[in-house]
Structure 1
Amino acid sequence: MATRKDSRGYSLKKGESQRKDGRYVFRYTTLRGEHRSVYAKELSELRKKEVKIRRAIEDGLDPDRAERITLNELFDEYISQKYDLKQSTMTNYKYMYNHYVRDGFGKLRISKIKYSDIKKFYYSLILEKGFKPNSMEIIHTLLHPTFTMAVRDGLLRLNPTEGVMAEIKKSHCWEKTKRHALTVAEQRAFTNYIANSEEYRGWFPLFTVMLGTGCRIGEVLGLRWQDVDFKNRTISINHNLVYRVQEDGTCTNHVNSPKTKAGIRIIPMIDEVFDAFLEEYQYQKVIGFCTDEIDGYSGFVFCTGEGKVYLPNAINRTIRSICADYNKEEESKAKEENRDPVLLPKFSCHILRHTFCTRFCENETNLKVIQEIMGHADISTTMDVYAEATQEKKKESMTSLQSALLVR
């Protein structure tokens, strides 16, 4: 069989040809059995493309599809196969992707996305959008497995997101905010002020339960009267209330099961918590119980005067108001009494949980017990709080011991 040649007399290999306009063509079949063609003005340029194509096919890759598919298309394919995700998690993932990836970075062809592109995109979210570690982790949790799927499907040779977060975490573009528990004096000031305030007295049971159980805000707001066992003085934690963003951008309340088995637990009631629940129950017997029904759940313990469950943001706003009013009064009293004021720092609902855990760690050495009461899935979380709490306790002990030790 005669060797085919181009217009310059160069021999053409199998799959190569030259068009009437002088351009060179290489035709090949993909792993999927699809016929594809690539073009070049020069034969040398065409053969460079051929080398890449043949190498990719030998390695089980599908370069042509990678050239055509966008990150958006790849993500949609990936997320549609996540059958094990809770609806709330799925909704949150789609919300984050649609708001921060889809309209810009998501339109890029996956074959064009390199490690440096991912890094640049991540930094744009951190520096321009003000992303914190938790939000950044969500984006990475979406993109990393999406590209992993592309690698396993033979679309890409390497995952461009590999190692990006590790590199960013080494930088100082943001520092993870360290949570500090309220001191004993601050905690006492907070609860005493609420207990004796005409304006905030109605919040006393809720904050007592939060400070006396260490429950997450969603767990407390999701409590039903049937979860409170007055006879055995226990609280059953088996679900939580979440204010969830829907795919259409609106928000609504939903009831979720705990993310891990550790979240399902029975918490014994201390006397203060028992009294707080009893006070709230007696109060609602007079004004009426919660009328809200959410995902089949009803009979919620803590609700507004209109019989509706609270939103987490409403609790945080109330904490800010309490702290502002208390600090204003405390500064005035301290000035009159010629003493330093005991002021409350800015804090959120989660600090009340952290405060409970800290007090617990200061008085309990069994880490497993602390972990189970807190519902920590990973004991390292418990150990971090314990280490901080015991370090402060050691300082206090040494200060107390100082006057007793006759070292000089």
Structure 2
Amino acid sequence: MASISKRTRKNSKGESVSHWRAQDIVNGKRVEFTAKTKRLVEEKLRQYINDIEQYGSVLDKDEYSLSEWVHIFLYTKSYPTVAKSTFHRQQASYKHISTSSLGSVTLQNISPRLIQKFINSLELSNSSLRQIRILLNQSFEYAIDNNLLRTNPMRGVIVPKKNKDNTIRVLSKEQQKNYILALENEPNRLLFLTALFTGLRCGELIALKWKNVDLEKSTLFVCETVVRTKVYTSTGKSHFETVTNQPKTQSSIRTVPLPEFLTQELSVYKPSGTNISEQYVFGTSIGTPQWDCNIRNWHYRVCQKAQINPTISIENGNQVVKYIGVPFHALRHTFATRMIEAGENVKVIQELLGHSDIQTTLNIYTHVLEETKIASAKKQHNLYYDLLSL
């Protein structure tokens, strides 16, 4: 039976100071708690007994701030097990946590309400918010494993959907023509033509080696991707590194046919010699993979020459025309759009793009497919009158 009593003593100033004490025997062990009020001391004892009965132990008394604990999770649990690019993304998420007021709150005082308020306050994309939610959830689960929390405060926390511009950027046929003409005398002309007429992603183009190019069969074999990512040491220091990975999904490993003109140009472009199979098709002059940021910069230079997407700004009182171009990924979208316009089967397009399922392709290119439906109705209209004129 628990014993709860009020104790009073004199402090150094001679004033009476009271506190409450609770004592009990739990599993043969004598325990004692003190607090300023009877209600608090009863709660401490009740929580202790509840922990022993339900979990067999009490929570560790170590107090970590959220920022401290997420950092521990990153370098103790995550760093040895995840890919370098994944850890880079986790570090970006951690920065938002550690620089917020939530980061200074102790684990035991974190609540779903505080987390939801933090998530709602972030002006980030849906994907970035999801990455932060995943990191917090994993960190809290690790805290539970280490006897610091009983429940995960992420339960019930949602990532609010923000209006996202799902419009894909596609070159019109006129813009595509101008883009091709602007490639004249560009050192990386063949790289951009390959992107425009095969739909390969930037990382897939960078990773392409001559052993993956079959000029006799006019095909490219896509089996790797290259990304430039910030790599961290176990002490937290970082540097940029070019990392080669296998594609995330099996469907991204694929064979892509080459149009005849590209096969001919690659045949001329291919270096002579017998030991070139491991050389990058579009590598640097010293044989290393290109950096994706360089490719994107070269691409925007071509967009400027092709005068794609003009915008007018005022500088020093004068109107200035600038060409903002389109993202490099628009070359992939342009490839797919031209295929749909030509009546290619959507299943074939899905396989050429390396999408994991056909629904992904349908979702991305919905507007193009709708336009082809309208065009097909016009063809039926023309067919009707053609038949009557026979």
What TM-score range do you get, normalising by the shorter chain?
A: 0.7 to 0.9
Q: 1:117 aligned to 107, 114, 118, which one?
A: 114
1:135-176 residue CA offsets vs partner (Å, 9 max, x unmatched) = 22222221123224445766545433334334x11xx4x524
Q: Which residue of 2 aligns with 1:373?
A: 352
CA 1:115–1:344 in 2, change beyond 3 Å: closer, same or farther? Answer: same
Tell me what 2:34 maps to. Answer: 39
Residue of structure 1 equivalent to 2:20 = 24
Q: Which digits, 9 at most, give the CA deviation of each residue in 1:221-276, with x for residues without a partner?
A: 11111111112222111111110101123212121111122221221222133133
Summarize the Cα distance change of 1:403–1:373 in structure 2 as closer, same or farther, 3 Å threshold: closer
Contact 2:144 2:152 in 1 (8 A): yes
Give, as a single letter, the amino acid of the residue that structure 1 aligns with 2:137: H
* Structure 2 CA distance for partners of 1:328 and 1:21, relative to 1, 3 Å: closer
Question: Is 2:308 aligned against 1:324?
Answer: no
What is the CA RMSD across the aligned residues, in angstroms? 4.0
In the alignment, structure 2 segments of 5+ residues that lack a partner are: 9-15, 312-321, 386-390
Percent of residue pairs identical = 24
Which residue of structure 1 aligns with residue 91 of structure 2? 95
Partner of 1:302: 282
**In 2: Cα distance, 1:150 partner to 1:120 partner:** 21
If each structure's strand is expressed as a fraction of its own residues, which one has the higher value?
A: 2
Superposed CA offset, 1:285-312 (max 9, x none): 59xx99xxxxxx9511113455543211
Tell me if structure 1 keeps the 8 A contact 2:112–2:157.
Answer: yes
| TM-score, scaled to structure 1 | 0.73
What amino acid sits opposite 1:390 in the alignment?
L
1:11 match: none
User: How far, CA to CA, are the matches of 1:398 and 1:345 in structure 2?
Assistant: 36
CA contact (8 A) 1:66 1:109 kept: no
Q: Which residue of 2 aligns with 1:275?
A: 264
| 1:118 counterpart letter in structure 2 | I
Assess, with a 3 A threshold, how the Cα gap between structure 1 residues 326 and 37 changes in structure 2: closer, same or farther: farther
The alignment partner of 1:161 has SS state of: coil
Separation (CA, whole Å) in 2 of partners of 1:231 and 1:147:
55
Give structure 1 stretches of 5+ with no counterpart: 9-19, 291-296, 332-342
Following TM superposition, by how much is the alpha carbon of 1:110 offset from its aligned partner in structure 2, in angstroms? 1.6
The one of 180, 187, 200 equivalent to 1:191 is: 180
CA contact (8 A) 1:218 1:241 kept: yes
Match for residue 340 of structure 2 among 353, 361, 367: 361
* Structure-2 residue corresponding to 1:49: 44
* Cα distance in 1 for residues equivalent to 2:376 and 2:145: 57
Kept in 1: contact 2:182–2:305 (CA 8 A): no
Relative to structure 1, is the Cα distance of residues 147 and 328 closer, same or farther in structure 2, using a 3 angstrom cutoff? closer
Residues 103-134 of structure 1, C-alpha deviation per residue, up to 9 Å, x if partnerless? 544443222112222123224432xxxx2222
Residue 63 of structure 2 is matched in structure 1 by 68
**Any idea what SS the aligned residue of 1:22 has?**
strand
2:69–2:139 Cα contact (<8 Å) kept: yes
Distance 2:80 2:51 in 1: 33
Q: Give the letter aligned to residue 20 of structure 2.
A: Y
